[in-house]
Amino acid sequence: MAPVNVKKICCIGAGYVGGPTCAVIALKCPNIQVTIVDLNQARIDGWNSEDYRLPIYEPGLVEVVKQARGRNLFFSTDIDRAIQEADLIFVSVNTPTKKSGVGAGFAADLNYVESATRRIAAVATSSKIVVEKSTVPMRTAESMRTILEANSKPGLRFDILSNPEFLAEGTAIDDLFAPDRVLIGSLQTFEGKSACQSLTNVYANWVHTDRILTVGLWSSELSKLAANAMLAQRISSINALSAICEATGANIEEVAHAVGRDTRVGSKFLRASVGFGGSCFQKDILNLVYLSESLHLPEVAAYWRQVVTLNEYQKRRFSKRVVDTLFNTITNKNIAILGFAFKADTGDTRESPAITLVRDFLSERAHVTIFDPQVDESQIWLDLSEALPDVSINQIKNQVTIAKSALSAAQNSEAVVVATEWKEFKDINWQAVYNTMKKPAFVFDGRMILDGDALRQIGFKVITIGRGDKL
């Protein structure tokens, strides 16, 4: 069987992964028609909006959509039609951590993957290559194949591939244009390898074949979990060292630089912070913990679990440092939080450490004012009500204000806390901020982005993560 020449692609799930990934595929493969579908009409309307008010913020994404939309890139809620027409289908639906039942708090909820797979089986009238794009537990491909084979029309063939996405939010377009690698997993059968070649040919339109790695299905599924777990482990390692720095007067930036200069370690992903967030790291590690436990490997499970435990500790340690520094109480004090997204250059707040900080400050009965350049106000209220299920939204709103600028957030506050590394926070008129604040005016830099010495010259008391400097 020769590899299928892919002419039409359908992507189920128009989120942070499916949207940018398939928009770039459309841009780079003008001869392939790409249709991105989603159940959520508002999301699709956003993708189709005339003024390009796309549902997600990602630098460079609007330019990609402008070039390809209407040419060979389409967004639709007509899922069945897109499935029927496609040769190849990406499944990019979300796989959140289960909230109840077996594996609650650890295992991935595969409900959406299963329902997308069942939909494909129910409506497909021709053979398809079905690609797992969502990060899934190992051997999900097998379940997908069983569902497809048991429910489809006779004579149809479904080849399942695993093609995990490694893009990071905020740099998604650059990551997709020039990926370190594209990973494609397939069954090592003749048919599996042939399907793998079909997808390889799609990426080969712009990615050098040296960078397209083809492996077995299970290796591919595990590699995605392993990559995220190892990246997160580096952050927890450096954050654990930041606690030692604060206690001893060492400087974590100097330590990270010295360690990272060893080419065996490398310098990337060693930035101490108030903790990692995002939709992937915690979820994928918990997934790995669950997998290890299911395989009766408790030591392995405990090892990975500690990466998440340390991250929780880092967030708690930081909020405690704020309280301790502000003379052991923040009750009725005004705290300005700069940044609510889980990292810079995204409006995404999933698992953002800022949520934990606000929750901790509210439990100390402080007043919190939040400013983020990209996060919608409604999203902040949603996140805070989820983080504080026992507190009514009105009570939350009594204690929290959302500001339109960093300067107005800081007005009349005792402390400014930097929770996200937005570049623009470096360029705030800090003198003006100082003038509006109560004295002594404290700045807590949870992202190591500010020039502490310049702020001290103005008169601020500055506390930076990973530094034990005297105020």
> Which of 138, 326 has the CB closer to ligand UDX?
138
Q: Which one of residues 34, 116, 362, 463 is an interface residue with ligand UDX (CB under 6 A)?
A: 116
Q: 97 a known binding residue?
A: yes
Site string for ligand UDX, 290-329 (x = CB under 6 A): ----------------------------------------
Task: Assess 92 for contact with ligand UDX (CB under 6 A).
Answer: yes
Q: Which one of residues 11, 17, 388, 409 is an interface residue with ligand UDX (CB under 6 A)?
A: 17
Nearest Cα to Cα of residue 156 among 119, 127, 128, 129: 127
Task: Assess 18 for contact with ligand UDX (CB under 6 A).
Answer: yes
Please give the span between the terminal C-alpha atoms of the chain, in angstroms, as a whole number. Answer: 71
Q: 162 a known binding residue?
A: no
Q: Measured between alpha carbons, how far is 91 from 114 in angstroms, rounded to an integer?
A: 10
Task: Assess 186 for contact with ligand UDX (CB under 6 A).
Answer: no
Amino acid (1-letter code) at residue 106? F
Task: Assess 177 for contact with ligand UDX (CB under 6 A).
Answer: no
Q: Which one of residues 5, 7, 40, 208 is an interface residue with ligand UDX (CB under 6 A)?
A: 40
SS3 (DSSP) at 59: coil
Alpha helices (runs of H) in 296-405, residue ranges in sequence order: 298-325, 353-363, 377-387, 393-399
Q: Which one of residues 3, 28, 39, 411 is an interface residue with ligand UDX (CB under 6 A)?
A: 39
Nearest Cα to Cα of residue 139 among 178, 107, 171, 169: 107
> Which of 167, 322 has the CB closer to ligand UDX?
167
Q: Which one of residues 9, 27, 29, 270 is an interface residue with ligand UDX (CB under 6 A)?
A: 270
Residues 97 and 283: beta-carbon distance below 8 Å: yes
Site string for ligand UDX, 122-151 (x = CB under 6 A): ------------xx----------------
Q: Measured between alpha carbons, how far is 237 from 465 in angstroms, rounded to an integer?
A: 14
Binding part of the chain for ligand UDX, among 3-11, 36-44, 182-190, 399-407 by CB under 6 A, reads 36-44
Structure-block tokens of residue 223: 């590699």
Site string for ligand UDX, 201-240 (x = CB under 6 A): ---------------------------x--x---x-----
Binding part of the chain for ligand UDX, among 15-23, 199-207, 259-267, 427-435 by CB under 6 A, reads 15-23
SS3 (DSSP) at 7: coil
Residues 395 and 422: beta-carbon distance below 8 Å: no
Task: Assess 115 for contact with ligand UDX (CB under 6 A).
Answer: yes
Q: Which one of residues 95, 117, 186, 292 is an interface residue with ligand UDX (CB under 6 A)?
A: 95
Amino acid (1-letter code) at residue 402? I
User: Which strands make up the sheet holding 367-371, listed edge to edge?
Assistant: 400-402, 367-371, 334-338, 415-418, 442-445, 461-464
Q: Measured between alpha carbons, how far is 196 from 252 in angstroms, rounded to an integer?
A: 44
Q: Give the Å distances, CA to CA, from 192 to 5, 162, 220.
A: 15, 11, 13
Task: Assess 282 for contact with ligand UDX (CB under 6 A).
Answer: no
Burial letters 415-454, b for 16+ CB under 10 A, else e: bbbbbbbbeebeebebeebbeebeeebbbbbbbbbbebee
Q: Measured between alpha carbons, how far is 86 from 198 in angstroms, rounded to an integer?
A: 13
Work out how close the CB of 228 gets to ligand UDX at its nearest, in angstroms, rounded to a whole number: 5
Q: 17 a known binding residue?
A: yes
Binding part of the chain for ligand UDX, among 152-160, 265-273, 358-366, 459-467 by CB under 6 A, reads 265-273
> Does the N-terminal peptide bond of residue 440 adopt cis geometry, omega within 30 degrees of 0?
yes
Clarify whether 245 is annotated catalytic: no
The rounded Cα 138 to chain-centroid distance in angstroms is: 20
Q: 204 a known binding residue?
A: no
Task: Assess 418 for contact with ligand UDX (CB under 6 A).
Answer: no
Task: Assess 38 for contact with ligand UDX (CB under 6 A).
Answer: yes
Residue nearest to ligand UDX (CB): 15
> Which of 98, 367 has the CB closer to ligand UDX?
98
Q: 38 a known binding residue?
A: yes
Nearest Cα to Cα of residue 73 among 110, 39, 120, 35: 35
Amino acid (1-letter code) at residue 204? A
Q: 87 a known binding residue?
A: no
Q: Which one of residues 61, 64, 241, 271 is an interface residue with ligand UDX (CB under 6 A)?
A: 271
Structure-block tokens of residue 111: 């409900």
- Judge residue 19's burial from the number of C-beta atoms within 10 Å of its C-beta, 0-12 exposed, 13-18 middle, 19 or more buried: buried
Site string for ligand UDX, 324-353 (x = CB under 6 A): ------------------xx----------
Site string for ligand UDX, 397-416 (x = CB under 6 A): --------------------
Residues 108 and 136: beta-carbon distance below 8 Å: yes
Q: Which residues participate in the annotated binding site for NAD(+)?
A: 13-18, 38, 43, 93-97, 134-135, 169, 280-283, 350
Which residues does the annotation place in the binding site? Answer: 13-18, 38, 43, 93-97, 134-135, 169, 280-283, 350
Q: What residues are annotated to the active site?
A: 280
Contact set with ligand UDX (CB under 6 A): 12-18, 38-40, 43, 92-95, 112, 115-116, 134-135, 165-169, 228, 231, 235, 269-271, 273, 276-281, 342-343
